[in-house]
Amino acid sequence: MATYTLPTLPYAYDALAPHLSAETMELHHDKHHAAYVKAANETVERLGNAESWQIAGLERALAFNVSGHGLHTLLWESMSPEMEQAPSGALAEAIDVAFGSIDKYLERFTAALTTIQGSGWALLVLEPIAKELQIVQVQNHDGAMLLGATPIIAADGWEHAYYVDYRNDKVTWAKNFTRMTDWAGAAARFDAVVASANT
């Protein structure tokens, strides 16, 4: 039995066009995300029969693939065919507290996504100690993440996320990601994290 399963996209492959083509979405979901899920399940199985010298490498592979699976699942939920949304409620207030304004947040998030060296992600996370929103830049899938922080929004900075539609123009990809951001979904995730932290 597989431990991890590929979630269905929450919208049609062409729902985010013209910002993301059906070709990009199909490749990204059906090939790239699916590959992380498959590798995560294979790694779990191999860990069960591993020699001691193999365990460190397999743990590394498990972190990479499970994090890739989790980040892509959040990526699909971070975007919406309902474009040009704005944050609302407690999340909007927390963004003002943490970044000064939504425009300042967008500027910093875009900078985080476009200045990754090589492959990685930009995330909006709730840091659990100060209980404050932060932007983090993640190398590959699992580098430099704050322990215990909960991602609210995930933006993929790997080339496969934008290359078919944007070629090397990562800046336009980043700007269009912010136009597709599902702020209603993000607000619901934020409220759920805050509620669970207060129980």
What are the counts of helices (DSSP H) followed by strands (DSSP E) for the chain?
A: 8, 3
Give the list of residues 6+ apart from residue 57 with CB closer than 8 angstroms, or none. Answer: none
With b for 16 or more beta-carbon neighbours within 10 A and e for fewer, the 41-58 pattern comes to bebbeeeeeeeeeeeeeb
Q: Which is nearer to Mn ion, 28 or 189 (CB)?
A: 28
C-alpha distance from residue 160 to each of 12, 22, 58 (Å): 19, 13, 24
3-class SS shares of the chain: helix, strand, coil, % to 5: 55, 15, 30
Part of the chain binding Mn ion (CB under 5 A), chosen from 12-20, 155-163, 174-182, 188-196? 155-163
Q: Which is nearer to Mn ion, 5 or 198 (CB)?
A: 5
CB of 36 to Mn ion, least distance (A): 8
CB of 117 to Mn ion, least distance (A): 17
3-state secondary structure of 7: coil
Part of the chain binding Mn ion (CB under 5 A), chosen from 1-9, 47-55, 123-131, 154-162? 154-162
Strand 120-127, strand 150-156: pairing: antiparallel
Q: Which is nearer to Mn ion, 125 or 161 (CB)?
A: 161
Contact (CB, 8 A) for 68 and 4? no
Q: Mask of contacts with Mn ion, 12-41, x by CB under 5 A?
A: --------------------x---------
CB of 198 to Mn ion, least distance (A): 33
Q: Which is nearer to Mn ion, 121 or 190 (CB)?
A: 121
Q: Does 158 bind Mn ion (CB under 5 A)?
A: yes
CB of 72 to Mn ion, least distance (A): 6
Q: Does 156 bind Mn ion (CB under 5 A)?
A: yes
CB of 112 to Mn ion, least distance (A): 16
C-alpha distance from residue 141 to each of 5, 111, 122 (Å): 18, 18, 10
Tell me which residues touch Mn ion (CB under 5 A). Answer: 32, 156, 158, 161
